[in-house]
């Protein structure tokens, strides 16, 4: 019988953070008089992201968000709340730019307490067999790789200041098959799996990780859905309607808040019952 050597114990989350801190020393750069919590929201220039940014600002958070371009909302908010709001033009698929954005936020605001991975990309319906390779790469990079990278950098910052909370915005496409969105569905399913495993890794550091799994709700991403398809969705939904964006934001806000302090590793479906 072959002798089995004893495996070395797996590195704990605390071990990993200590190694990271040794390689990347934290800098004490908290602005005087600005000790309120800091939230990073991807894609906060419009839609659900904008609603979340507005709510967090109203609750005393300092908020940093990015998108590919400015909007009237981001420009106006940056002017009205320069010490509380930070916006930058960043392409979600440019992972180096995403990392640089979070480092800038951690330096300017001194900490990161919450992350909402809200931004995502859903291109026109395309069968898996005919989806071009570059479109596959873009969908996976935007909907899975970018949130993972953003989470990694934010979690490092959270680990240095006592913990935090991460909320990933997924999709019911991750749990129920739909024609024409196979690649997008795969990426979102990956995001839910990432959520569960990361919750195991980061719990010891006081970092909670959950995902919100919305059904159909009014957004830019669903604006091109035909009236016929909307009616079909309504008929299949037990509550008989589609969600308002505020109903999705309510759940995200709950998971960011201390009211959910003992919830981690969960994917909360908000779909009016369509997947039940």
pLDDT digits (tens, 9 = 90+) for 55-65: 999 999 999 99
Cα 135 → chain centroid: 21
184 annotated active-site: yes
- Candidate from 23-27, 85-89, 136-140 with smallest mean pLDDT: 23-27
List the catalytic residue out of 85, 101, 184, 217: 184
- Asked if residue 179 has pLDDT above 70, the reply is yes
CB atoms within 10 A of CB 221: 15
Q: Please state, in angstroms and rounded to a whole number, the distance separating the CA atoms of residues 112 and 96.
A: 18
Confidence at residue 33, expressed as pLDDT on a 0 to 100 scale: 38
Report the 10 Å Cβ neighbour count for 94. Answer: 15
How far from 228 is each of 98, 124, 158, 180, 234, CA to CA, in Å?
Answer: 38, 17, 45, 17, 10
* pLDDT tens by residue, 58-94: 999 999 999 999 999 999 999 999 999 999 999 999 9
Q: In what order do the strands lie in the sheet with 38-42?
A: 85-89, 62-67, 38-42, 114-117, 164-169, 207-214, 267-270
- As a whole number, the mean pLDDT across the chain is 87
Per-residue pLDDT band for 113 (boundaries 50, 70, 90) equals very high
Domain ranges, ordered by start, for the chain: 34-270
Tell me yes or no: is domain 34-270 CATH 3.30.300.20: no
The contacts of residue 247 (CB under 8 Å, 6+ apart) are 217, 270
Nearest CA-CA partner of 57 in 71, 78, 43 = 78
Q: Give the separation between CA 231 and CA 176, rounded to whole angstroms.
A: 19
Calculate the alpha carbon distances from 98 to 41, 44, 61, 141, 218 in Å.
Answer: 12, 14, 21, 12, 27
For the chain, give the percent of residues with pLDDT over 70: 85
Cα 270 to Cα 42, 181, 221, 255, distances in angstroms: 20, 19, 17, 13
27 or 115: which carries more pLDDT confidence? 115
DSSP string, 221-252: GGTT--HHHHHHHHHHSTTSSPBPHHHHHHHH
CA angle (118, 232, 124) in 5-degree steps: 45
SS3 217: strand
134-to-96, 131, 148, 183 alpha-carbon distances in Å: 19, 8, 20, 12
DSSP secondary structure code for residue 267 in this structure: E
């Amino acid at each position: 019988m072959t002798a089995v050597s004893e495996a070395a114990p797996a590195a704990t989350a605390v071990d990993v953070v200590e190694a990271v801190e040794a390689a990347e020393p934290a800098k004490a750069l908290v602005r005087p008089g600005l000790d309120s919590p800091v939230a990073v929201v991807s894609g906060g220039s419009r839609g659900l992201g904008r609603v979340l940014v507005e709510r967090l600002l109203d609750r005393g958070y300092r908020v940093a968000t990015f998108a590919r371009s400015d909007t009237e909302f981001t420009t106006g908010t940056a002017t009205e709340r320069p010490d509380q709001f930070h916006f930058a033009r960043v392409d979600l698929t440019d992972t180096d730019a995403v990392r640089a954005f979070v480092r800038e936020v951690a330096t300017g605001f001194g900490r990161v307490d919450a992350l909402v991975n809200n931004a995502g990309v859903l291109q026109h319906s395309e069968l898996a067999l005919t989806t071009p390779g570059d479109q596959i790469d873009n969908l996976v990079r935007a909907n899975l790789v970018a949130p993972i990278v953003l989470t990694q950098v934010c979690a490092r910052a959270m680990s240095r200041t006592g913990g935090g909370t991460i909320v990933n915005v997924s999709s019911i496409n991750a749990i129920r098959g739909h024609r024409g969105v196979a690649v997008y569905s795969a990426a979102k399913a990956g995001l839910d799996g990432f959520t569960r495993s990361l919750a195991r890794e980061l719990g010891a550091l006081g970092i909670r990780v959950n995902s919100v799994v919305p059904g159909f709700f009014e957004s830019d991403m669903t604006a091109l859905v035909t009236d016929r398809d909307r009616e079909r969705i309504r008929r299949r939904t037990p509550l008989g309607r589609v969600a308002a964006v505020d109903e999705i934001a309510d759940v995200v806000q709950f998971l960011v808040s201390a009211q959910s302090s003992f919830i981690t590793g969960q994917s909360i479906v908000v779909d009016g019952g369509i997947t039940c």
